[in-house]
Amino acid sequence: MLTSIKTNHLTSSGQRLGMMYFRVAIVLFGAQLLMGLIAAIQFLYPGFLFELFDFSVARMVHINALVVWMLYAMIGSVYYMLSDETEHEGVAMGLGKLGFWVLTLAVTIVVLVYIFIQIGPGNETTIWLINEGREYIEAPRWADIGIVVVVLIFYWNVFATFMAGKKTGIMQVMVANLLALAGLYLAGMFFTDNISMDQYWWWWVIHLWVEATWEVFVGTLAAYALIKIIGAKREVVEMWLWIEVLMLFGSGILGLGHHYFWIGTPEYWWEIGALFSALEPVPLIAMFVHVLYDWGKEQGESGVRETVKNNPAMAWLVTNAFGNFLGAGIWGFFHTLPQVNIYTHGTQFTAAHGHLAFFGAYATILVGMMYVGLQGAYGIKEMKSNFNSKMAIFLITFGVVGMTVALTIAGYEQVLVERAELGGGWNAFFTAQDLPWYVQAQLWRAIMGVVTLVGFVYLVLDLLTIGKRAKAAEA
């Protein structure tokens, strides 16, 4: 991966820029996991690093790094596929490169400030310089504005290249969806001291990202990658992409109501949220079925077993289909009705869903795209999985599924003891967390976190070496 830019076979500067984004993404992914582990240990030993590196800080860096590495990998993927899809070199890649360095510098400063400043008074200065205090998107306002500028450069680059080049269906969806995705970020930027109002708009970013625009985004990546890896028919993947756009936006936008149950918004959101968010798994199931069905059908019809041109990427893509369906569709549906959510809200059940959904729907396919990038960078015709690739996908997936199961058990115990039996007060909250089911579940989560981290080490090793190894094997 490190040499992937220098020794490259990449003809376009956009693809080289894409690889640069992938590298930063993987570094931030590693930072995310380390922070998660610190927070997980603090669940078991609350005194661990107390007043040096508190839970609130570890947790905050954990989930902000998550969002930022995913955005990096998403921008990387777009730059990678841009010239390929549009058959155009790219309009202003020099400017794109400048944007990359500005963004990376800003992210570094923000993270250092998070780590070294940590706590202080909540006032205007804090909002501008330290932390905006909105979960997942905590960047201070100066960085927020910087991010908007860099994203504008990025978007303009993509849009102008699209206008100048060939206009495929995949790129049409991509360009329209990216506008919505970037525009939504603005909803999380202004300040109000009314917490209900703040949450109301904050969910526009978080929910409308992960349950609408990001889902459509990874749909475009899957379509592109399936064409590249197994030679999927463009008409077929594009048709499904348009259906997904329709269905995901249909249910996803009003599905927003499932976050408006208990934050002081009017009660009609109960019905709206219940109905539309319950429909959200439908496109996820359709997506899951179509990927596997199409693949089997095509092979059955042609009578030849399609060669998979990039095994590790394909493995991550299949994990994506399952992971999206399970993490978002099933674990999401579990707690989406207000009748259920009143018990599960704010328990470890939410964290179980959060982990499996973010991992299954996004981490998987973005790692897959990194492998697609590496194949291009080294000019390899068929990229096979090796021991490291297999250990990486197995251990990471096993670790995250293990964490999810542990957290689901912890959440179940909280629902029964804290909410149903003890009525959900202050004491109930602590009593439930002292009981053996909860404590053991947290221990298992930490163990499974270590498994995930070991898998990540294999992943880095593989990304660094698979290109050279595959090249040598081909020669």
**Binding stretches for ligand HEM (CB under 6 A):** 33, 36-37, 39-40, 43, 59, 62-63, 66, 135, 210-211, 258-259, 277, 280-281, 328-329, 332-333, 335-336, 341, 345-346, 350-351, 353-355, 357-359, 361, 363, 400, 449, 452-453
Nearer residue to ligand HEM within complex by CB, 14 or 36: 36
With CB under 5 to 8 Å by kind, the binding choice for 59 among Fe ion, ligand HEM, none is ligand HEM
In one letter, which amino acid is 271? E
User: Angle CA(268)–CA(212)–CA(270) in degrees, nearest 5?
Assistant: 15
The distance of closest approach from Cβ of residue 416 to ligand HEM in the complex, given in angstroms and rounded to an integer, is: 17
The distance of closest approach from Cβ of residue 49 to ligand HEM in the complex, given in angstroms and rounded to an integer, is: 13
Nearer residue to Fe ion within complex by CB, 165 or 273: 273
Q: Which two tokens stand for residue 131?
A: 């932390």
The distance of closest approach from Cβ of residue 84 to ligand HEM in the complex, given in angstroms and rounded to an integer, is: 26
Q: Which residue is nearest to ligand HEM (CB)?
A: 332
With CB under 5 to 8 Å by kind, the binding choice for 16 among ligand HEM, Fe ion, none is none
Q: Is 353 in the site for Fe ion (CB under 5 A)?
A: no
Nearer residue to ligand HEM within complex by CB, 83 or 213: 213
The distance of closest approach from Cβ of residue 32 to ligand HEM in the complex, given in angstroms and rounded to an integer, is: 6
Residue pair 78/90 in contact (Cβ under 8 Å)? The answer is no
Q: Which of 254, 399, 360, 381 is nearest to 308 (CA)?
A: 381
With CB under 5 to 8 Å by kind, the binding choice for 281 among Fe ion, ligand HEM, none is ligand HEM
Nearer residue to Fe ion within complex by CB, 77 or 336: 336
Nearer residue to Fe ion within complex by CB, 145 or 278: 278
CB contact set of 125 (below 8 Å; sequence gap of 6+): none
With CB under 5 to 8 Å by kind, the binding choice for 401 among ligand HEM, Fe ion, none is none
With CB under 5 to 8 Å by kind, the binding choice for 39 among ligand HEM, Fe ion, none is ligand HEM
Residue pair 159/153 in contact (Cβ under 8 Å)? The answer is no
Q: Which of 74, 176, 190, 99 is nearest to 137 (CA)?
A: 190
CB contact set of 198 (below 8 Å; sequence gap of 6+): 134, 192
Q: Which two tokens stand for residue 335?
A: 């707690």
HSE, CB side, 13 Å, CA atoms: give it for residue 268.
1
Nearer residue to ligand HEM within complex by CB, 93 or 284: 284
The distance of closest approach from Cβ of residue 452 to ligand HEM in the complex, given in angstroms and rounded to an integer, is: 4
The distance of closest approach from Cβ of residue 434 to ligand HEM in the complex, given in angstroms and rounded to an integer, is: 16
In one letter, which amino acid is 29? F
The distance of closest approach from Cβ of residue 211 to Fe ion in the complex, given in angstroms and rounded to an integer, is: 5
Q: Which of 321, 335, 327, 329 is nearest to 365 (CA)?
A: 321
Nearer residue to ligand HEM within complex by CB, 137 or 178: 137
Rounded CA-CA distance 335/344 in Å is: 7
Nearer residue to ligand HEM within complex by CB, 88 or 134: 134
Phi, psi angle pair for 422, to nearest 5°: -100, 0
The distance of closest approach from Cβ of residue 259 to Fe ion in the complex, given in angstroms and rounded to an integer, is: 6
Q: Which of 72, 136, 93 is nearest to 373 (CA)?
A: 72
Q: Using DSSP, state whether 192 is helix, strand or coil.
A: coil
Rounded CA-CA distance 342/344 in Å is: 6
The distance of closest approach from Cβ of residue 35 to ligand HEM in the complex, given in angstroms and rounded to an integer, is: 8
With CB under 5 to 8 Å by kind, the binding choice for 5 among Fe ion, ligand HEM, none is none
Contacts with Fe ion, 201-220, as mask; x by CB under 5 A: ------x---x---------
Phi, psi angle pair for 383, to nearest 5°: -100, 120
The distance of closest approach from Cβ of residue 323 to ligand HEM in the complex, given in angstroms and rounded to an integer, is: 9
Nearer residue to ligand HEM within complex by CB, 88 or 258: 258
How deeply is 158 buried, as exposed, middle or buried, from its count of CB atoms within 10 A (0-12, 13-18, 19+)?
A: buried
With CB under 5 to 8 Å by kind, the binding choice for 88 among Fe ion, ligand HEM, none is none
Phi, psi angle pair for 310, to nearest 5°: -150, 90
Listing DSSP states for 209-252 in one string gives: IIIIIHHHHHHHHHHHHHHHHH---HHHHHHHHHHHHHHHHHHH
With CB under 5 to 8 Å by kind, the binding choice for 280 among ligand HEM, Fe ion, none is ligand HEM
Q: Using DSSP, state whether 386 is helix, strand or coil.
A: coil
Nearer residue to Fe ion within complex by CB, 328 or 451: 328
Size of the site for Fe ion (CB under 5 A): 2
Site residues (vs Fe ion, CB under 5 A): 207, 211
